[in-house]
Structure 1
Amino acid sequence: MRILPLLLLFGLSACHVIEQPAGLIPRWTTAYREVISDSDRLRLRDWRKSFEVGLAAARKSGHAADIAREGALLNPDAALAGPAIPDGIYRCRVIKLGAKDPGNLDYIAYPPFTCRIRSERGLQRLGKLGGAQRYVGLIFPGDAVRNVFLGTLAFADESRVLQYGQDEQRNVAGYVERIGPGRWRLVMPEPHFESRLDVMELVPLGAST
């Protein structure tokens, strides 16, 4: 993914991002409600509205066929009950829906990349391996249908990541959902840059979709 011009406002090229001793969250807990920010709580609460607005904008701009081709991935009601996503290496890709600002596109499908999920102290850690923008965060227990992802966005020139909550503009919040056999997605409503909704598909490396 490209580094956004808006990010220049934050002076990213000159900053040194240091991971906090406590890890990815301010204090360790397996209950996401104990660490989630108020703004992220609202983003997750209104996820469906963001999904529908993003889809409507993408269809209006001529991408109805692209949306239909993706099937369950871009269907708000596609989430299935368990099992939770297992640890492993995944083929991932991101689709952005609905332009947040004038000049942005209403539909962007990025090429696949590699990400990894591994156990971490009773939770799971999801990380995008490489690229200009890297999602790094924790997957918390949610309900029978979805789990909760809280993380941050790191950039290509940074070797470490900010702790969740340290910079609100870097916070990422979403739902991890199973959408088929060996197929999951991470739904991220109202990201701080570019789009109204980001959807990341996760398929175990070597599996077919």
Structure 2
Amino acid sequence: MFEIIKSGGWMMWPLILCSIGAMGIIVERFWSLQKKKVVPPELVPQVWKLSREEKIDSVLLHRLSANSPLGAVLAAGLSHRHLGRDVMKECIEEAGRKVVHDLERFLNPLGTIATISPLMGLLGTVFGMIEIFSSLMKNSSGDPSVLAGGISVALITTATGLVIGIPSLIFHRYFERLVDEYVVDMECEALKLVDILQGDREEDIDEIPA
């Protein structure tokens, strides 16, 4: 492995750093974007039950906000529940924008790695080809095997860049889609709670999906 890295030239080191960064982001996002952490299924029924029992206070709202992204959105609406439906929706939307920003953390760097890794690999190959032909011109070697061997070594960086870039792009698209699904779920649950609290919808807690 070290021989492959060494033969790929100095451009292999930035590519290795990109691979480490991409792997770290992917693992972190898989851990942070678990559904039970982002949209706990039991949270909305619990909040609705506490609201009916008039147990919503500042301490509970603080705990709810720290519970999960969905909890932060619900807490923003509940803290202004006495100011009417429109105010609650505005507060929920404002909190939702912040939650989306947090859910998309590190996705831009992952997308950048997915884009630049193949380009860096190609650049490393170009440098390698320049070096090969410069060496051939100096040594006046006409041996095709030497040229073929040099080209194969130069292509190592291109292959490495693609190996890093393709999975990074796949996971970047996957996490973006996952965040979009969570945002839709949170919006639906929050608006449903607003309708119930403002009396626009009559619904028993058992009918709220867990």
TM-score (norm 2): 0.22
Larger strand share, 1 or 2? 1
Larger helix share, 1 or 2? 2
